Amino acid sequence: MADIYEKLASGYYNDPKPPEKPKRDCVECGTSLREVTKFCPHCGEAFKDPYEAKVEAYNKEREAYRKKCEKLSAEFKADALAHCELTSHKNADKAFAKAWESDHSNGLEAVLNELSDLSDLMV
What ranges make up the beta strands (E) of 1-123? Answer: 24-25, 32-33
Given a cut of 60, whether residue 36 has pLDDT beyond it is no
Between 25 and 69, the more confident residue is 69
Cβ contact 18:62 at 8 Å: yes
Residue 73, phi then psi, degrees to nearest 5? -65, -45
pLDDT at 54: 80
Residue 95: other Cβ atoms inside 10 A: 21
Between 32 and 76, the more confident residue is 76
CA distances from 112 to 20, 42, 79, 80, 116 (A): 31, 52, 10, 6, 6
Q: What is the mean pLDDT of residues 72-87?
A: 94
- Predicted confidence band of residue 53 (pLDDT cuts 50, 70, 90): confident
Given a cut of 70, whether residue 21 has pLDDT beyond it is yes
